Chains A and B, each alone.
Chain A
């Protein structure tokens, strides 16, 4: 089960993930990212504090947009991952390609410093 909420702020938009992402529902994550990309925000945050599990299907969705974020000069940050979920990003070295922050406060600080 996966639920995805969106919180729109003046400067950024946050996708709030809750549940598990696998090959059966990664298309939902894909659709949501595609939609927020069309909103023309310069910063996209993902709140992963409710994310209990992610497989390569979900990681692949994030990976597939990195080029778009670069081309459109969009800051993309994920925050709040549990140790076990963050570990999956580390195994693949995705933590070198995607900015991961411990919590929303740290994520916002990073945005403001940029």
Chain B
């Protein structure tokens, strides 16, 4: 099984991403709730990259890699779009989000709540977002 997916930058490809991740996480060690959390976190990063770093250009793509270990799982989202470090992003107050009637600003909050470690590597050649989840953790 090849644990990689090439995902073109169109929002209607997100279902394809979920199908890929669902198959990757089919092992019994992932409960339905945990599996859904992991799929959601990876999708949030991919949707952000597609929309904000690639302007949904369908000829651009992301590479998604899944690496499973006994005690952890690592997802890498690799692309050549504009760098963005979500670790520097200051989450707005939820009450302010409601007051402003904003429809966004929740995705990064979800990723940070779900994942144990987030690493960003950015070089002129590529941008890598690495999401790490320790199994049997939060």
Contact = CB atoms under 8 A, between A and B. Distances in A.
Interface in B1-43: 11-12, 14-15, 18, 32-33, 35-37, 39-40, 43
A56 interface: yes
B113 A22 contact: no
Contact of B113 (A1, A65, A66, A92): A92
Contacts of A57: 47, 103-104, 107
Contact of B109 (A30, A65, A84, A92): A92
Interface residues of A, number: 29
A41 interface: no
A56 B110 contact: yes
Interface residues of B, number: 31
Given A22-B15, A23-B11, A56-B107, 15 more contacts: A22-B43, A24-B15, A26-B103, A53-B18, A55-B40, A55-B44, A55-B47, A57-B104, A60-B104, A63-B98, A64-B102, A65-B101, A83-B33, A84-B35, A91-B114
Contacts of B105: 60
B135 interface: no
A23 B47 contact: yes
A74 B14 CA distance: 33
B98 A97 contact: yes
A83 B33 CA distance: 7
Given A53-B36, A83-B33, A59 B14 contact: no
Contacts of A20: 15, 18
A60 B98 CA distance: 9
B32 A84 contact: yes
A67 interface: yes
A60 B21 CA distance: 23
A63 B113 contact: no
Contacts of A60: 102-106
Contacts of B114: 91
B91 to A, nearest CB: 11
Interface in B84-138: 94, 97-99, 101-107, 109-110, 113-114
Contacts of A56: 44, 104, 106-107, 109-110
B36 A63 contact: no
A55 B17 CA distance: 13
A39 to B, nearest CB: 19
